[in-house]
Amino acid sequence: MTALLIKILTFLMPVVIAFNGMSFSVPMFSKGAEIEYDFANEAAGSAAGTVTVSAKLGGKYDLYWGSDEDSRLSVEIKGKDAFYSEFAEVTIKGGEGSKELNSFTAIPDGAQTVLAYKGKILVGSMDIPEEKKSDRGERVFAFGALSDVHFNRYNQSLTGDDAHLTFPNALNFLEGFDISLVGMSGDLSANGEEYSFRSFNEIASRYDFPVYTCTGNHDVSDKFTLDNWQKYINAGAYGEEKADGIESVADNGLDFVYAPAEANGDVFIFLSQYQWDYNESISRILKDEQLDWLEAQLEKYADKTVYLFFHTFLNNPVEGEDPRMGEGNLVNNAGHAYDLPFTEGCPDEVRFENLMNEYENVVFFNGHSHWAYDMQEINPQLNIADYNGEFATMVHLSSVSSPRRTTMNIPDTSEHAMRSSEGMLVEVYENEIVLTAIDFLKGEMLAYATYVIEK
């Protein structure tokens, strides 16, 4: 049944993608909007700045990257076009509306224009200045970044376990980008049960690239055993015969360093929390010896780019700002936020934060909250932040199986199992790292969550 549903999804994907790329040009609206872009810097490929749309007709306008004057930007994946979503939504009142873009927001490769749509109607365009078009050179390597697949937790599909559909669908999509590996920030399971780890292994082992992960809080819940983890997860990391690129495994049999040859010196660190423990003054999710090991690895690779995968995000560390309004979390005006952050002020949290402050060469991938990428409308720092350049770059990974959303004025969250499935493609160049968020069910590149980091 699972295999049949995956085939059905594969058949339907081109239809969904084609629909996403449809647009209409209506003569009376063809000159209906003017676009101005005040870029915040001169860096090629950076979309940071403020974009303004002027039009007589008020309401919402969507802005897309275009490959020319009337075609939305897309990339080819396994012979099919995957279109980029809007990168900004502008609401016009009194003839004008503006949107400020996150400072990390990227102009994707191939983008030549900015296109304004009113619904499905193309109403205006603007040429991107030649000096602002992306010019990143040859790609060094690429990897996928995922989190919170949660086998045995969600049951909205006919398979009986959504992860049996969403996980291979995400890996199939990423495979089309010639990736070297997939890194994950944990929560493979509902309660650390063997079934989930075995299911993860059965799917991950079908691919030519490794899928490496740390534990999440659900993985180290009441059914977790180290034997099951080592048996099914991170193939080639724990046995006597190590896979190529495995450089260091901690004494706890969980944490390890991976340095693939094609990464040109970049390294991956997978750091596992050892228990589910939040919101108490004595809460601990990392042991002292783990932090000793992590500090030793960060010092060893201090002159390299380090991709750190650890499940739980930090609170916003900037004094005077709401701790919940940092990377990985948000709070709406009804006071609703994800309630299991790394417990502020506990010894492991303090030390981990200090390490992220000291080693700015780190790109720290975390999951845990499941917030969908479009929730950056509530918190612009949700998906990526370095807190004014004073910390490591922290990157939020949404959920493969069930992204979460909220809206203003409501004190709860909506689960989106089988309605969206999100993660990231990470492409590494000599001087830049480009992160593109993806909705794998729609087959859509999320332009509003496409970012560039300077190496």
Question: Which residues are CB-contacts of 228 (< 8 A; sequence separation ≥ 6)?
Answer: 192, 194, 197
- Inform me whether the pLDDT recorded for 210 exceeds 50: yes
| Token pair recorded at residue 330 | 């948000």
Q: Which helix (H) or strand (E) holds 172?
A: helix 163-175
> pLDDT digit string (tens) for 94-148?
999 999 999 999 999 999 999 999 999 999 999 999 999 999 999 999 999 999 9
Q: What is the DSSP string of 324-361?
A: TSSTT--B-TT--B-S-PPPTTSHHHHHHHHHHHH-TT
Q: 305-326 burial, b for 16+ CB within 10 Å, e for fewer?
A: bbbbbbbbbbbbbbeeeeebbb
- The gap from C-alpha 10 to its chain's centroid, in whole angstroms, comes to 23
What is d(CA 325, CA 321) in angstroms, rounded to the nearest whole number? 7
Q: What is the pLDDT of the chain when averaged over all its residues?
A: 93
pLDDT digits (tens, 9 = 90+) for 390-433: 999 999 999 999 999 999 999 999 999 999 999 999 999 999 99
> Which residue's entry shows tokens 């783990």?
290
Is pLDDT at 12 greater than 80 in this prediction? no
User: Domain residues of the chain, as ranges?
Assistant: 2-132, 141-420
Over residues 226-242, mean pLDDT: 96
Residue pLDDT, tens place only, 332-378: 999 999 999 999 999 999 999 999 999 999 999 999 999 999 999 99
CB 70 within 8 A of CB 23: yes
Interval 227-238 mean pLDDT: 98
What was the pLDDT predicted at 31?
60
Could you report the per-residue pLDDT of 280-307, keeping only the tens digit for each?
999 999 999 999 999 999 999 999 999 9
Local structure of 95: helix, strand or coil: coil
Q: Is the per-residue pLDDT at 328 higher than 50? A: yes
**pLDDT, position 159:** 78
What is the full DSSP assignment across 225-255?
-HHHHHHHSSTTTSSSSPPTTEEEE-TTSS-
Give residue 157's pLDDT band: very low, low, confident or very high (50, 70, 90): confident
Nearest-angstrom CA–CA distance, 314 and 45? 29
Which has the minimum average pLDDT: 22-31, 65-74, 265-274?
Answer: 22-31
CA contacts within 13 A on the Cβ side of 320: 1
**pLDDT per residue as tens digits for the range 23-51:** 333 333 446 899 999 999 999 999 999 99
Give 141-420's CATH code, choosing from 3.90.700.10, 3.60.21.10, 3.30.70.260, 3.40.50.1820. 3.60.21.10
**Residue 298: C-alpha distances to residues 110, 303, 386, 404, 438 (Å):** 36, 9, 17, 32, 29
Query: pLDDT confidence of 22, banded at 50, 70, 90?
Result: very low
Q: Report the interhelical angle of 194-204 vs 163-175 (nearest 10°).
A: 30
Does pLDDT of 3 surpass 50? no
Q: Is the pLDDT of residue 1 over 80?
A: no
Q: What is the DSSP string of 3-18?
A: HHHHHHHHHHHHHHHH
| pLDDT for residue 436 | 98
Percent of the chain with pLDDT over 70: 93
> Distance of CA 339 to CAs 215, 313, 331, 449, Å?
19, 12, 10, 24
At residue 15 the predicted structure's pLDDT band, cuts being 50, 70 and 90, is very low
